[in-house]
């Protein structure tokens, strides 16, 4: 297990890249504040989003910044990441499966890179700088969107690739009924959707007994419509970092040199 360096030993900045199905975004991050140190740059994700095409786009994005040679680089990717290798592919070309994401992006940028699942990066950022800052014990961050992303952090250590959106609950893949896309697809009002969220979160809290649950995703902007309808023993709060979370979390993990194995 990699030992997390003391805060005083960490660099002041790192660079985060967020690779998504529609856009590739990047920015340097001030690690003391958990904020962008310069304006974020966004470039549309090439179609088809093959490793070669994405790598070229990442290289173009990276080259638009004047960065120190030793700046740590973290990359979020919409897949299960083991030892830097993508084991799945969500909203990107299936040719990524089995591809070493770290090697591909390292070659495109000419730097050492740490690759991480996108939900893990966003959730980790919330534990350092957002809604779960200073929370001890077990923190679960869940993003509600097209699917359900999850991130589990225990006493400050990330447990990668939890994929709790794919729990089977009542015979269904959980995200097929409880994701925000299911609410929109089926025209559910907040009360009916909250019933599904109640069932989902109750199962999850029975499995992991978290000390705090943080809810992210675009719908978290409307958290007052559904979070008060939930009856859980675990405190549950909305995320704070929103769209910045992935870049910030990837940068922070890269700076800490955390091995996500």
Residue range 200-221, pLDDT digits in tens: 999 999 999 999 999 999 999 9
- Whether the pLDDT of residue 10 is over 80: the answer is no
Q: Taken in order 215, 218, 223, 225, is the CA torsion positive or negative? A: negative
What's the structural domain count of the chain? 2
| Domain assignment present for 126 | no
79 and 105 assigned to the same domain: yes
Q: Give residue 4's pLDDT band: very low, low, confident or very high (50, 70, 90).
A: very low
160 and 89 assigned to the same domain: no
Q: What is the pLDDT of residue 9?
A: 63
82 and 179 assigned to the same domain: no
Q: Give residue 234's pLDDT band: very low, low, confident or very high (50, 70, 90).
A: very high
Helices of type H across 9-63: 51-63
43 and 65 assigned to the same domain: yes
| Domain assignment present for 30 | yes
Residue pair 19/44 in contact by the 8 Å Cβ criterion: no
Token code pair at residue 52: 């070669």
| Domain assignment present for 125 | no
The model's pLDDT over 162-181, given as tens digits with 9 standing for 90+, comes to 999 999 999 999 999 999 99
pTM of the model: 0.92
- HEC profile for 2-20? CCCCCHHHCCCEEEEEEEC
| Domain assignment present for 69 | yes
Mean pLDDT of the chain: 94
| Domain assignment present for 208 | yes
Q: Give residue 1's pLDDT band: very low, low, confident or very high (50, 70, 90).
A: very low
Domain around 197: 131-239
Q: Give residue 260's pLDDT band: very low, low, confident or very high (50, 70, 90).
A: low
Q: Give residue 6's pLDDT band: very low, low, confident or very high (50, 70, 90).
A: very low
29 and 92 assigned to the same domain: yes
73 and 110 assigned to the same domain: yes
**CATH code of the domain containing 23:** 3.30.420.40
Token code pair at residue 50: 């093959």
The model's pLDDT over 58-86, given as tens digits with 9 standing for 90+, comes to 999 999 999 999 999 999 999 999 999 99
Closest CA to 214 of 75, 206, 204: 204
């Amino acid at each position: 297990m990699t030992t997390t360096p003391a805060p005083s030993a960490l660099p002041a900045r790192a660079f985060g890249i967020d690779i998504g199905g529609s856009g590739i975004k990047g920015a340097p991050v001030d690690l003391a504040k958990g904020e962008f140190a310069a304006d974020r740059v966004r470039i549309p994700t090439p179609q088809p989003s093959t490793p070669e095409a994405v790598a070229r786009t990442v290289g173009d994005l990276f080259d638009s910044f004047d960065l120190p040679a030793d700046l740590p680089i973290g990359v979020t990717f919409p897949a299960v990441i083991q030892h830097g290798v993508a084991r799945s592919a969500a909203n990107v070309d299936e040719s990524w499966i089995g591809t070493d994401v770290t090697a591909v992006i390292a070659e495109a940028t000419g730097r050492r890179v740490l690759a991480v699942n996108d939900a893990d990066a966003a959730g980790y950022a919330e534990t350092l700088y957002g809604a779960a800052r200073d929370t001890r014990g077990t923190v679960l961050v869940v993003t509600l969107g097209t699917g359900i992303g999850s991130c589990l952090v225990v006493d400050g250590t990330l447990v990668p690739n939890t994929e709790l959106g794919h729990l089977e609950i009542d015979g269904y893949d959980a995200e097929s009924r409880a994701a925000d896309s299911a609410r929109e697809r089926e025209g559910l009002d907040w009360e009916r959707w909250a019933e599904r969220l109640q069932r989902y979160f109750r199962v999850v809290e029975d499995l992991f007994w978290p000390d705090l649950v943080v809810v992210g995703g675009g719908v978290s902007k409307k958290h007052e419509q559904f979070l008060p309808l939930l009856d859980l023993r675990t405190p549950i709060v909305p995320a704070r970092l929103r769209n910045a979370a992935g870049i910030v979390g990837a940068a922070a993990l890269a700076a800490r040199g955390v091995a996500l194995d």
